[in-house]
Each structure stands twice: as C-alpha cells, then as structure tokens.
Amino acid sequence: MNTKLHAICDSQGRPLNLFVTAGQVSDYIGARALVSSLPKVDWLLGDRGYDADWFREALKDKGIRACIPGRKQRKKTVKYDKRRYKRRNRIEIMFGRLKDWRRVATRYDRCPKVFLSAIALAAIVMYWL
C-alpha cells in the first residue's frame, strides 16, 4: 500500500498539521482537508500538485498569498515568486528527517491511523521536545 503525507509547516520547517491520503489520490484531496486548518500567515509555498484555481481562491479568501508554480498543462501561466519558492526546501528537509525514523520510512503499519500516529510521534520528538 502506498500513501502520501500532506503537511503544513511553519517557516522553520516544523510540522504543524499532518494528513495522510492513499498514494494514488490527487494532492487536491490533501489540500481540501488542510485548507481549513491553515494558520494566519502571509504566504503559502506549495508544489505543482497543489495548483488549482479553487485552492488559490480559498487562500485568497483567507488573506494568504500563494507561491505555487503552475502545472505544465495550464493554458494560462501563473506568476509566482521564484526566489521565495526556493525556501520550500525546508519542507522537503522535514519529510527527509521524518524518514530517518525506520518505522515511518518503511511504513510497517498497515492501518493509516496508526501510521499517521507514528508520523506524529516522530514529529513531536524531533521538532517539539
């Protein structure tokens, strides 16, 4: 079984909110689940998987500016701050550090709730204790 982990992180790369979906599911499902729990911020950095007009509108309604590059299939190109987008590596570093925990990297747990609990435990120990 394959899974995707969606996360909201602060500017230092510490996870604030986590959500697990099936691996074959679109990133829009994770975005829809996490949009209501977004903290009050100025910018949101995301990868191409989160490029959707409804998501950009939801961010705009919350007063958040999106720094998300457009999908390659998009007919009208989307402008984004390339310099700011380079800071997204902090999120990738966070995912890499979570995978330092063998239980998270190899996904021993078959149940998604137990797997998410293991990820949350690893995140708390690494970033918040």
> For residue range 27-67, what is the model confidence (pLDDT) as tens digits?
889 999 999 999 999 999 999 989 999 999 999 999 999 99
pTM of the entire structure? 0.86
Structural domain including 50 reads 3-128
Cα-based distances in Å from 42 to 63, 64, 76: 7, 5, 24
The CATH number that applies at residue 32 is: 3.30.420.10
| E strand or H helix at 8 | strand 3-9
Q: What is the pLDDT of residue 1?
A: 61
In whole angstroms, how large is the CA radius of gyration of the chain? Answer: 15
CA distance 126 to 14: 9
- Dihedral of alpha carbons 16, 41, 50, 82, sign: negative
How many distinct structural domains can be found in the chain?
1
For 79-113, what is each residue's pLDDT tens digit? 999 999 999 999 999 999 999 999 999 888 888 89
**How many angstroms from the chain centroid is the CA of residue 97?**
15
Q: What is the pLDDT of residue 120?
A: 95
